[in-house]
Chain A
Amino acid sequence: MNDTTATLRRGTVVVALVLAVVVPLLLSDYYQFEASEIAVLAILALSLVLITGFVGQISFCQYSFAAIGAFTVGSLSGGHHWSYWLALVVAVAFSAVVGILVGIPALRLSGLFLAILTVAVALFFDRFLLAPGTWDSFSGGLEPWRIGRPSFFGIKLDGPYAFYLFTLGAFAVVAWLVWNLRIGKTGRVLRAIRGSEIAASMIGIDVTLWKLAAFGLSAGLAGLAGGLLAADIGAVSPPSFDFLHSVTIAAIVTVMGVESIGSAAVGALALIGGPELLTHTPISPDYFQLIVGVVLIVQLVFAPQGVVAKTAEDVKKLIAKRGGDHTSLSPNATTQQMTKVHT
């Protein structure tokens, strides 16, 4: 069964990558710019997959971590003329540290209370820290930070397609790293912690340390997305990091399936592509949030594991039926196998 699944997965990844490289080439500058935004948001969505999908911790403040990344890059690179890359490294580290700090009170919370804590963090950033007059040397006050497009090993990334390829590459690398974590010891330990913190600690797992590491890693990824977004848009200002964005991206990632890495990419595509599609219909793009809400309810009822995860399962089942052999993953086969073992 693993062979078929692995081949299928590899095939999907290769096709998706080829499409992701080729399709924007045929599109206008504007859509190429949107494509780079999708790649960056996919990294942000991955940060959610890590903290919510792997460890089961709800977060409504991923855009706040992204904001730390973006404004660190903005103030250092735009305000103090640092190299973009150096600023980006500092941005990721700073976001990770703030993520760990948020993780400390979060250690004792879960479910609803954790959700409320992250909402409080998001509102603190949104309404206080980034508000003009609070910390203008970080937030830029009323003036947005201006950031030029960086060069990547001598290649100037100023064309929209060049920058898109760079962000796509960044997403691919991050997705590969997160995938490796998922299939390795880290993924196993984090899933164990999500399953039962007490049982995990009874077999020697340092639950506190791993949870803080996951918060730090997730926030660091979000900060990376923020720093890339700053260079992508070329300007950083507080409205781009409004609290509601955090809620929308959490909703979209949930709809797609919060445990899967593929759903981060599809989710980001929907997040940018959805409103874009609506502009070609009589419905105003302002209704996008409403549509996401309705879809979320439908998904939670009919496909609680998420749309992407459900599709993957259905495809697997379909192949199993076609093959009609041992590849089946259906509960039936499992019981049969089990009875065999038992008797």
Chain B
Amino acid sequence: MSLLEVDGVSVRFGGVRALTNVTFHVNRGEIFGLVGPNGAGKTTLFNAVTGVVRPTSGRISFDDHEIGHLKPHRRARLGIGRTFQNLQLFGAMTVLENLMLPVDAFARRGLLSDAFRLPMASFEEKRASERARAMLHFLKLDGIEGLRANDLPVGMQRRVELARALCLRPKLLLLDEPASGLDARETAELAEALPQIRERFGTTMLLVDHDMALVMRVCDHITVLDFGEVICSGPPSVVQADERVIRAYLGEEVA
């Protein structure tokens, strides 16, 4: 019952091997951790899954469909949502507008109904804003919908970005270092929020972060990447004790 299957995926940029023959499967309903030192290829893997980069070889399938040939927006519409390591909110727009956009992307209306203010347009507008407000409420972000995204502190921006990704109603949510820039309290809130999101929306999650305590706490399964290759995979307790993982993180002992 895998939702996401990454099979033998390699990505090369010129002579640089960003990913080499990476294989792992994410089960439905799982919170799956992907860890590894800087430059291990975690973000590249996210880019390959979302369609920003094209794998040199290998196969990616989602929800029993091969998605390797699909453009990024098609993958998003199939149900792959994402947050970014370096926040990608639309800074000049309000929080509410940011959250309405994923609903807009699905809406069956376009230039004509907008230009002539057809009834459909205001109906869909209302629907989008209602869904956005509900999501803000769920993530305890009430009251900020009218503020510009850029004017918010980083911790709140991260939560707004999470809310925006959830407005897409994704089956799979890719979280790229969601705890970076957060203080201890905010990180603890995030660790609480992720299982709640899964419970409420049934979202499967693929999580990348450097905060090992967070990853160990929320993930059901962890895969460790080093220099673009999978070096270990299993439940947190197994990964924690793995020799290669400790070496990758702390460096080899000098004999």
Task: Give the residue of B88, B92, B114, B168 whose beta carbon is less than 8 angstroms from that of A186.
Answer: B114
Please choose the segment from A59-67, A70-78, A130-138, A190-198 that sits at the chain B interface, where 4 or more of its residues have CB less than 8 A away: A190-198
B104 is an interface residue with CB less than 8 A from chain A = yes
The residues of A that contact B104 with a CB separation of less than 8 Å are: 185, 188-189, 205
A202 is an interface residue with CB less than 8 A from chain B = yes
User: Contact flags (1/0) for A253-269 with B, using CB distance below 8 Å?
Assistant: 00000000000000000
Please choose the segment from B140-148, B220-228, B229-237 that sits at the chain A interface, where 4 or more of its residues have CB less than 8 A away: B140-148
Task: Give the residue of B81, B124, B167 whose beta carbon is less than 8 angstroms from that of A185.
Answer: B124
A7 is an interface residue with CB less than 8 A from chain B = no
- Beta-carbon contact of A188 and B77 below 8 Å: no
A203 is an interface residue with CB less than 8 A from chain B = yes
Residue on B nearest A187 in the bound complex, by CB: B114
- Beta-carbon contact of B92 and A203 below 8 Å: no
A207 is an interface residue with CB less than 8 A from chain B = yes
Residue on A nearest B115 in the bound complex, by CB: A177
- Beta-carbon contact of A185 and B151 below 8 Å: no
Please choose the segment from A14-22, A141-149, A330-338 that sits at the chain B interface, where 4 or more of its residues have CB less than 8 A away: A330-338
Please choose the segment from B20-28, B105-113, B187-195, B246-254 that sits at the chain A interface, where 4 or more of its residues have CB less than 8 A away: B105-113
- Beta-carbon contact of A185 and B88 below 8 Å: no
CA distance A189 to B106 in the complex (A): 12
B153 is an interface residue with CB less than 8 A from chain A = yes
CA distance A139 to B30 in the complex (A): 66
B212 is an interface residue with CB less than 8 A from chain A = no
CA distance A92 to B145 in the complex (A): 40
The residues of B that contact A191 with a CB separation of less than 8 Å are: 90, 92-93
B50 is an interface residue with CB less than 8 A from chain A = yes
- What is the size category of the interface that chain B forms with chain A? 35 or more
- Beta-carbon contact of B164 and A180 below 8 Å: no
- The smallest C-beta distance from B177 to any residue of chain A, in angstroms, reads 15
- Beta-carbon contact of A204 and B168 below 8 Å: yes
Quick one: given A189-B101, A203-B102, A342-B156, are A213 and B111 in contact (CB under 8 Å)? yes
The residues of A that contact B156 with a CB separation of less than 8 Å are: 342
- Beta-carbon contact of B111 and A181 below 8 Å: yes
Quick one: given A180-B115, A337-B147, are A186 and B101 in contact (CB under 8 Å)? no
B200 is an interface residue with CB less than 8 A from chain A = no
- The smallest C-beta distance from A258 to any residue of chain B, in angstroms, reads 14
CA distance A336 to B88 in the complex (A): 24
- The smallest C-beta distance from B120 to any residue of chain A, in angstroms, reads 11
- Beta-carbon contact of A205 and B105 below 8 Å: yes
User: Contact flags (1/0) for B72-91 with A, using CB distance below 8 Å?
Assistant: 11001100011010001111
B162 is an interface residue with CB less than 8 A from chain A = no
Number of residues from A at the complex interface, CB < 8 A: 34
- The smallest C-beta distance from A166 to any residue of chain B, in angstroms, reads 21
- Beta-carbon contact of A203 and B111 below 8 Å: no
CA distance A186 to B97 in the complex (A): 12
The residues of A that contact B153 with a CB separation of less than 8 Å are: 338, 342
The residues of A that contact B81 with a CB separation of less than 8 Å are: 202-203
A42 is an interface residue with CB less than 8 A from chain B = no
The residues of A that contact B147 with a CB separation of less than 8 Å are: 334, 337-338, 341
Task: Give the residue of A177, A198, A204, A334 whose beta carbon is less than 8 angstroms from that of B148.
Answer: A334
- Beta-carbon contact of B164 and A203 below 8 Å: yes
- Beta-carbon contact of B105 and A204 below 8 Å: yes
Residue on B nearest A216 in the bound complex, by CB: B111
- Beta-carbon contact of A205 and B144 below 8 Å: no
- The smallest C-beta distance from B201 to any residue of chain A, in angstroms, reads 16
B116 is an interface residue with CB less than 8 A from chain A = yes
CA distance A200 to B52 in the complex (A): 12
- Beta-carbon contact of B144 and A338 below 8 Å: yes
CA distance A192 to B104 in the complex (A): 11
- Beta-carbon contact of A185 and B90 below 8 Å: no
Quick one: given A185-B114, A189-B104, A196-B88, are A203 and B76 in contact (CB under 8 Å)? yes
B128 is an interface residue with CB less than 8 A from chain A = yes
A300 is an interface residue with CB less than 8 A from chain B = no
CA distance A189 to B89 in the complex (A): 13
CA distance A331 to B81 in the complex (A): 32
A201 is an interface residue with CB less than 8 A from chain B = yes
A29 is an interface residue with CB less than 8 A from chain B = no
Quick one: given A185-B121, A188-B93, are A203 and B165 in contact (CB under 8 Å)? yes
Excluding A186-B115, A217-B111, A341-B143, 6 further A-B contacts by CB distance (< 8 Å) are A192-B90, A192-B101, A198-B72, A204-B168, A206-B73, A338-B151
Between-chain CB contacts (< 8 Å), 6 pairs: A181-B114, A198-B88, A201-B71, A201-B72, A202-B50, A208-B71
Kindly list the 10 A-B residue pairs having the minimum CB-CB distance in the complex, ordered from nearest.
A204-B105, A199-B88, A184-B114, A204-B76, A201-B72, A195-B90, A203-B102, A177-B115, A186-B114, A185-B104
